[in-house]
Amino acid sequence: MALDVEKLAIPGVLLIRPKKFGDARGYFSETYNLRAYQEAGIGCTFVQDNQSLSAQKGTIRGLHFQTPPEPQAKLVRVLRGAIFDVAVDLRQGSPTYGKWCGATLTGEAGEQLFVPRGFAHGFCTLVPDTEVAYKVDGFYAPGCDAGLRFDDPDIGVAWPLDGVAALVSDKDAKAPFLRDFQSPFTYEATA
C-alpha cells in the first residue's frame, strides 16, 4: 500500500490520501495498513476506534486531547459528509506552540489527518449528517480527558462556518483558554 502523504504547516501533522480503486460497482480502498503507515513515519500502534455522527452543519467538536500519562495520537477520517479538521500544537518549547493547521476531509475522497500526541484536535462539519471515525493510540482515560475553547482568540482557528452558528457541547463551550492552560507536553526537536 503506497500512501500519498502531505506534510502540513506544523511538523508531524500529516494529510494522508489512501488510494481508491473504482469500477461500475463502486470502489475499494485500504484505509489502514500498519506497515505502510510505519513506512510513512507514523509509528503508532492504534488500540481503539471511535466514531461520531453530527446531524447539523456547523457542529464543532473540540478542541480535545488527553494529557499524560495517557496522551493520544489520532488518525481521523470521514465516513460520510465533510469536515474541516484541525490540530493545535500544545508542546511547550515548540516553535509552533499555540498555532493550528487544518485540512478538509471528505467521505468521498477518503483523506485522513494524522494528529500526533501533544496536539489538541477538533473539527467542524461542513454538511449535515457527517460521520467521522478515528483511531487512537491510547485508550480513553477520563482523568486525562481535556480540552481548550474552540473559539479561543489566541489560537484563532478560522472555522468555515459560512454564516451558520456554531453548534457546540456545553463541555466544549466551557473549556479553558490557552492562556489559562499549563501544558504538560514538551517539544522534542527532530533532526
Phi-psi region of 31 (alpha: psi -120 to 50; beta: other; left: phi over 0): alpha
What lies within 8 Å, CB to CB, of 177 at 6+ separation is: 148, 149, 152, 154
Domain count, the chain: 1
- Domain of 80 in residue numbering reads as 4-20+45-180
Alpha-carbon span 151 to 158, nearest angstrom: 9
In-domain check, residue 36: no
pLDDT at 189: 77
Residue 183: closest CA among 96, 115, 76, 122: 96
In-domain check, residue 83: yes
CATH of the domain at 168: 2.60.120.10
What is the per-residue DSSP string for 85-152? Answer: EEEEE--BT-TTTT-EEEEEEETTT--EEEE-TTEEEEEEESSSSEEEEEEESS---GGGEEE--TT-
pLDDT at 107: 97
Cα first-last separation, the chain:
27
What lies within 8 Å, CB to CB, of 178 at 6+ separation is: 98, 148, 149, 152, 154, 155
In-domain check, residue 60: yes
In-domain check, residue 115: yes
pLDDT at 147: 98
What lies within 8 Å, CB to CB, of 182 at 6+ separation is: none
Alpha-carbon span 57 to 167, nearest angstrom: 8
In-domain check, residue 40: no
In-domain check, residue 175: yes
Q: Which residues are tagged catalytic?
A: 64, 134
pLDDT at 1: 60
pLDDT along the chain (191 residues), means of 10: 87 94 92 92 95 98 97 98 98 97 97 98 98 98 98 98 94 97 91 49
pLDDT at 44: 93
In-domain check, residue 35: no
Alpha-carbon span 85 to 121, nearest angstrom: 8
Helix or strand (DSSP H, E) at 27: strand 26-29
In-domain check, residue 186: no
